[in-house]
Structure 1
């Protein structure tokens, strides 16, 4: 069965909502990674350790295609309204624990 890697760059405070949508879509394994900064449509951003208001996080999961489609469908309404960056790519799992 083909697998899809999904990456979602999101404002930190929204991450619990992303992980809840993932869980509802049947995602059983994922990673949440901190980011240091970047440059986007609205200019430069960086992690603000004091308030965390501009902190972005990266959600990463590798899923069977049907679960990936379910998650992408759940994320679609948030994509524009919350300025999500969603990246998908084909994935091959070499070894599974």
Structure 2
């Protein structure tokens, strides 16, 4: 089973969606989104839980799809997972970065 997944990745058929739950993360979200793209993500979704700053704007500027949901990390993660199209889902905090 693992061997099949490795082969699929080498053939480029496995896709990765990165989901970033965020609330008032204007200062961090663009860097998180950028690190997701730099690491090879096929899709980046920021799920905003009611920010009062420019989190959504910064996420869009960084190239993410933005969803708005009720607050709560689990709610936001589930919302993002429901919209994601990737074979693999990666959940990333807005103040964290993925390696390139």
Structure showing greater relative contact order (alpha-carbon pairs closer than 8 Å, 6 or more residues apart): 1
Per the normalisation by structure 1, the TM-score is 0.35
Higher helix share: 2
Higher strand share: 1
Per the normalisation by structure 2, the TM-score is 0.34
